[in-house]
Protein backbone atom coordinates (compact mmCIF):
# COMPACT_ATOMS: atom_id res chain seq x y z
CA UNK A 1 0.00 0.00 0.00
CA UNK A 2 1.41 3.34 -0.98
CA UNK A 3 1.69 5.61 2.04
CA UNK A 4 0.11 9.04 2.03
CA UNK A 5 2.16 10.78 4.70
CA UNK A 6 1.33 13.90 6.63
CA UNK A 7 4.66 15.11 8.00
CA UNK A 8 4.73 17.28 11.12
CA UNK A 9 7.88 19.32 11.80
CA UNK A 10 8.87 22.42 13.76
CA UNK A 11 12.30 23.58 12.61
CA UNK A 12 14.82 22.88 9.85
CA UNK A 13 13.11 19.80 8.47
CA UNK A 14 16.21 17.71 7.79
CA UNK A 15 14.42 14.51 8.81
CA UNK A 16 11.40 15.52 6.75
CA UNK A 17 13.71 16.15 3.79
CA UNK A 18 15.29 12.72 4.10
CA UNK A 19 11.84 11.13 4.01
CA UNK A 20 10.69 13.34 1.12
CA UNK A 21 13.80 12.33 -0.84
CA UNK A 22 13.19 8.64 -0.10
CA UNK A 23 9.58 8.95 -1.26
CA UNK A 24 10.65 10.76 -4.42
CA UNK A 25 13.30 8.24 -5.41
CA UNK A 26 11.16 5.19 -4.66
CA UNK A 27 12.84 3.86 -1.52
CA UNK A 28 9.46 4.35 0.18
CA UNK A 29 6.30 3.57 -1.78
CA UNK A 30 4.11 6.60 -1.31
CA UNK A 31 4.02 10.37 -1.21
CA UNK A 32 4.06 13.22 1.25
CA UNK A 33 0.63 14.84 0.98
CA UNK A 34 0.96 17.55 3.63
CA UNK A 35 3.45 19.26 5.91
CA UNK A 36 2.08 20.68 9.15
CA UNK A 37 4.26 23.09 11.09
CA UNK A 38 3.69 25.05 14.29
CA UNK A 39 6.47 27.56 13.52
CA UNK A 40 5.81 30.05 10.68
CA UNK A 41 9.56 30.76 10.34
CA UNK A 42 10.64 27.11 10.08
CA UNK A 43 12.86 26.09 7.19
CA UNK A 44 10.75 22.97 6.68
CA UNK A 45 8.09 25.15 5.04
CA UNK A 46 10.57 26.11 2.32
CA UNK A 47 11.49 22.45 1.88
CA UNK A 48 7.82 21.57 1.44
CA UNK A 49 7.34 24.34 -1.11
CA UNK A 50 10.43 23.25 -3.06
CA UNK A 51 9.06 19.70 -3.20
CA UNK A 52 5.58 20.85 -4.21
CA UNK A 53 4.01 19.57 -1.00
CA UNK A 54 1.13 21.59 0.48
CA UNK A 55 1.87 22.97 3.93
CA UNK A 56 -0.04 24.69 6.68
CA UNK A 57 0.97 26.51 9.86
CA UNK A 58 -1.22 25.61 12.81
CA UNK A 59 -0.39 26.74 16.33
CA UNK A 60 -1.72 28.51 19.40
CA UNK A 61 -1.65 31.81 17.52
CA UNK A 62 -3.80 30.54 14.64
CA UNK A 63 -6.07 28.67 17.09
CA UNK A 64 -5.80 29.94 20.70
CA UNK A 65 -8.26 27.31 21.94
CA UNK A 66 -6.45 23.93 22.25
CA UNK A 67 -9.54 21.97 21.20
CA UNK A 68 -9.96 24.13 18.11
CA UNK A 69 -6.27 23.66 17.26
CA UNK A 70 -6.59 19.88 17.58
CA UNK A 71 -9.69 19.94 15.39
CA UNK A 72 -7.92 22.04 12.74
CA UNK A 73 -4.93 19.67 12.72
CA UNK A 74 -7.16 16.63 12.30
CA UNK A 75 -9.23 18.33 9.61
CA UNK A 76 -6.07 19.25 7.66
CA UNK A 77 -4.70 15.70 7.83
CA UNK A 78 -8.00 14.18 6.79
CA UNK A 79 -8.48 16.80 4.08
CA UNK A 80 -5.13 15.85 2.56
CA UNK A 81 -6.17 12.21 2.43
CA UNK A 82 -3.28 11.09 4.63
CA UNK A 83 -3.09 7.45 5.64
CA UNK A 84 -0.24 7.90 8.14
CA UNK A 85 1.33 10.67 10.21
CA UNK A 86 5.05 11.14 10.79
CA UNK A 87 6.33 13.40 13.55
CA UNK A 88 9.71 14.54 12.23
CA UNK A 89 11.11 16.93 14.81
CA UNK A 90 7.66 18.20 15.79
CA UNK A 91 8.04 20.01 19.09
CA UNK A 92 4.40 19.96 20.18
CA UNK A 93 2.33 17.16 21.61
CA UNK A 94 -0.12 15.79 19.08
CA UNK A 95 -3.72 16.19 20.21
CA UNK A 96 -5.60 13.17 21.53
CA UNK A 97 -8.31 13.35 18.80
CA UNK A 98 -5.68 13.05 16.06
CA UNK A 99 -3.85 10.24 17.87
CA UNK A 100 -7.16 8.39 18.25
CA UNK A 101 -8.25 8.94 14.65
CA UNK A 102 -4.93 7.58 13.34
CA UNK A 103 -4.32 5.04 16.09
CA UNK A 104 -1.37 2.82 15.22
CA UNK A 105 -0.55 4.95 12.18
CA UNK A 106 1.29 7.85 13.87
CA UNK A 107 5.06 7.42 14.03
CA UNK A 108 7.87 9.34 15.68
CA UNK A 109 11.62 8.89 15.76
CA UNK A 110 13.62 9.55 18.91
CA UNK A 111 17.40 10.04 19.15
CA UNK A 112 18.02 7.41 21.84
CA UNK A 113 17.22 3.80 22.66
CA UNK A 114 13.83 4.18 24.32
CA UNK A 115 12.74 3.85 27.05
CA UNK A 116 16.11 5.33 28.05
CA UNK A 117 16.48 9.10 27.65
CA UNK A 118 12.86 9.64 26.64
CA UNK A 119 9.88 11.54 27.95
CA UNK A 120 8.77 15.15 28.13
CA UNK A 121 11.61 17.62 27.57
CA UNK A 122 13.99 15.01 26.16
CA UNK A 123 14.72 15.97 22.57
CA UNK A 124 17.63 16.88 20.32
CA UNK A 125 20.88 17.88 21.99
CA UNK A 126 19.35 17.46 25.45
CA UNK A 127 19.24 13.72 24.78
CA UNK A 128 22.84 13.55 23.56
CA UNK A 129 24.07 15.57 26.53
CA UNK A 130 22.27 13.21 28.91
CA UNK A 131 23.77 10.18 27.15
CA UNK A 132 27.27 11.62 27.48
CA UNK A 133 26.68 12.49 31.14
CA UNK A 134 25.57 8.90 31.79
CA UNK A 135 28.92 7.63 30.46
CA UNK A 136 27.44 4.69 28.54
CA UNK A 137 28.91 2.81 25.59
CA UNK A 138 25.84 2.69 23.33
CA UNK A 139 23.06 5.01 22.34
CA UNK A 140 21.01 4.94 19.18
CA UNK A 141 17.65 5.80 17.71
CA UNK A 142 14.11 4.49 18.02
CA UNK A 143 11.04 4.59 15.79
CA UNK A 144 7.85 4.17 17.77
CA UNK A 145 4.11 4.51 17.45
CA UNK A 146 2.74 7.66 19.05
CA UNK A 147 0.31 7.53 21.96
CA UNK A 148 -0.93 10.24 24.29
CA UNK A 149 2.17 9.85 26.48
CA UNK A 150 5.57 11.16 25.39
CA UNK A 151 7.80 8.45 23.89
CA UNK A 152 5.70 5.67 25.43
CA UNK A 153 4.20 4.00 22.36
CA UNK A 154 5.10 0.62 20.92
CA UNK A 155 8.71 0.45 19.74
CA UNK A 156 8.77 -0.49 16.06
CA UNK A 157 12.53 -0.58 15.48
CA UNK A 158 15.81 0.54 17.01
CA UNK A 159 19.39 0.97 15.84
CA UNK A 160 22.46 1.19 18.06
CA UNK A 161 25.11 3.88 17.72
CA UNK A 162 28.36 3.59 19.69
CA UNK A 163 29.38 6.41 22.00
CA UNK A 164 33.02 7.17 21.25
CA UNK A 165 35.59 8.28 23.81
CA UNK A 166 36.11 11.68 22.17
CA UNK A 167 32.44 12.40 21.47
CA UNK A 168 30.90 15.73 22.28
CA UNK A 169 27.21 16.58 21.84
CA UNK A 170 27.69 17.76 18.25
CA UNK A 171 29.64 14.73 17.06
CA UNK A 172 27.38 12.22 18.77
CA UNK A 173 24.27 14.02 17.58
CA UNK A 174 25.43 13.99 13.97
CA UNK A 175 25.99 10.22 14.00
CA UNK A 176 22.71 9.51 15.78
CA UNK A 177 20.74 11.73 13.38
CA UNK A 178 22.20 9.89 10.38
CA UNK A 179 21.29 6.52 11.90
CA UNK A 180 17.85 7.81 12.90
CA UNK A 181 17.01 8.97 9.37
CA UNK A 182 18.16 5.69 7.83
CA UNK A 183 16.11 3.69 10.36
CA UNK A 184 13.02 5.82 9.78
CA UNK A 185 13.24 5.31 6.02
CA UNK A 186 13.60 1.53 6.49
CA UNK A 187 10.57 1.42 8.80
CA UNK A 188 8.37 3.51 6.50
CA UNK A 189 9.39 1.42 3.50
CA UNK A 190 8.48 -1.75 5.39
CA UNK A 191 5.10 -0.32 6.46
CA UNK A 192 4.34 0.50 2.82
CA UNK A 193 5.37 -3.02 1.73
CA UNK A 194 3.27 -4.65 4.44
CA UNK A 195 0.21 -2.68 3.38
For the stretch 128-153, pLDDT in tens is 999 999 999 999 999 999 999 989 99
Name the DSSP letter for residue 46: H
70's enclosing H/E stretch is: helix 66-79
Three-class SS state of 5: strand
pLDDT for res 160: 98
pLDDT for res 195: 79
- DSSP track, 87-156: ESS--SPPPHHHHHHTTT-EEEEESS-TTTT-STT--HHHHHHHHHHHT-SEEEEEEEE--SSTT-SPEE
Write down all domains in the chain, each with its CATH number in brackets. Answer: 3-194 (3.40.50.170)
pLDDT at 174 over 90: yes
From CA 56, how far away is CA 96, in angstroms rounded?
20
Active-site residue flag, 110:
yes
Give me the mean pLDDT over the 78-105 stretch. 96
Give counts: helices (H), strands (E), the chain. 6, 7
Q: Residue 181: which pLDDT band, with cuts at 50, 70 and 90?
A: very high
- Out of 11, 110, 128, 144, the active site residue is 110
Amino acid sequence: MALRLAIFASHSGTTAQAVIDALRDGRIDGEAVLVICNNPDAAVLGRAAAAGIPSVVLNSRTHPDPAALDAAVLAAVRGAGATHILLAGYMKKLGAPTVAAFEGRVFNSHPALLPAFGGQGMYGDRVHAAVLAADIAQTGATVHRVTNDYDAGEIVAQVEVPVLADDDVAALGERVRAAERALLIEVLAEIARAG
